[in-house]
Amino acid sequence: MTLAATAAGHGFLSPSGVEIAFVLVGIATLGAAVLTVTTRQLVHAALWLVVALGGVAVAYLLLTAEFIAWVQVLIYVGSVVVLLLFGLMLTKAPIGRSPDADSGNRWAALVVALASAAALVWVVVDAFRATWINLDGAAQGSTEASGRSLFQYWVLPFEALSVLLLAALVGAIVLSRKSGEGEAAAASLTNGAARAPAAPAPREEQR
C-alpha cells in the first residue's frame, strides 16, 4: 500500500509549515479574486486584482519559483493593472458604485462557475490525492536555473515572443490612434455607428 505508506509520512491532518502558509495565502488570494469579480466599484475591482495577483506571486514563492514570482510582480502588478486602471479611466468609468456592473445572467454564470468548480475540484483531488511536491533541495525556479533553461532550450520561442510583442505594440498603436486615414476608413465602413472621435455618442448614459 504505497498510499498508506506515503500518507504516514505526509497527511492532510499534519500539514507542514509551507502548506499552512500556502493555504492562508490561497484563502487571501481567492477572497481577493471573488471581490474582484463581485464588487460594484470598478476601480476597487482593479485594486482587489492587485491583491489577487500578489497572492499568486507569493504562492509562486512558496513553490520555490522565485523568478516567476518577481516577473509576476513586475508585469502583472506593475504594468497590467496600471493598464487596466488607464482603461477604466479612459472609458470614464464611474468612481462610486455602479449598479449595472453585473449582467442580467449573473445567476446562470454563478451556476456554471459553481458546477465547473465542483467538477474540477472533485477530479483534481481525486487524481492528486497521494501526490506530494518535494520542496527540499535546490530551488527549482531560481533565476539561474530559469535563465539557463530559457536561453539553452527555449531560445527560439523566446525570440518569436519578442516579435509577437512587437506586433502587439504596433497593433495597439494602430488601433488606438486618434485620427488619420484609418479612422476615416473605419467611419466609412461602419454605417453611421462611428462618430467624430471627440464627440461621445449621445447614447452614453449619464454618470
Partner 1 sequence: MHLAYPAVLAVLLFCTGLYGVLARRNAILVLMSVELMLNAVNLNLVAFDVWLRDTLHAGQALTLFTIAIAAAEIGIGLAIVLLVYRNRGSSDIDRLRDLAEKPGAADGEPQPDTTAEAAA
Q: Between residues 5 and 203, which has the closer beta carbon with respect to partner 1?
A: 203
Distances (CA, A) of 103 to 91, 114, 118: 18, 17, 23
Residue 205 interacting with partner 1 (CB under 8 A):
yes
- Smaller CB separation from partner 1, 1 or 27: 27
Measure the CA–CA gap between 133 and 10, rounded to whole angstroms.
11
- Residue 10 makes contact with partner 1 by CB under 8 A: yes
Specify the residue, 1 or 104, whose C-beta has the smaller distance to partner 1. Answer: 104
Rounded to whole angstroms, the Cα distance separating 58 from 26 reads 9
Out of 5, 8, 156, 193, point to the residue binding partner 1 (CB under 8 A).
Answer: 193
74 neighbors 109 (Cβ within 8 angstroms) = no
Residues 6+ apart with CB under 8 A from 65: 139, 140, 141, 146
Cβ(67)–Cβ(143) below 8 Å? yes
Binders of partner 1 in range 155-184 (CB under 8 A): 157-158, 161, 164-165, 167-169, 171-172, 175-176
| 73: contact with partner 1 by CB under 8 A | no
Q: Which of 1, 62, 70, 97 binds partner 1 (CB under 8 A)?
A: 62
Residue 117: CB minimum distance to partner 1, A: 4
What's the CA gap between 122 and 125, in Å, rounded? 5
Shortest distance, position 1 Cβ to partner 1, whole Å: 18
Under the binding rule (CB under 8 A), the answer on residue 47 touching partner 1 is no
- C-alpha to C-alpha distance for 181 and 133, rounded to whole angstroms: 57
In whole angstroms, the minimum distance from the beta carbon of 9 to partner 1 comes to 11
What string marks each residue from 101 to 130 as x (binds partner 1 by CB under 8 A) or -?
xxxxxx-xxx-xxx-xx--xx--xx--xx-
Q: Which is nearer to partner 1, 1 or 106 (CB)?
A: 106
Contact 66/141 with Cβ under 8 angstroms? Answer: yes
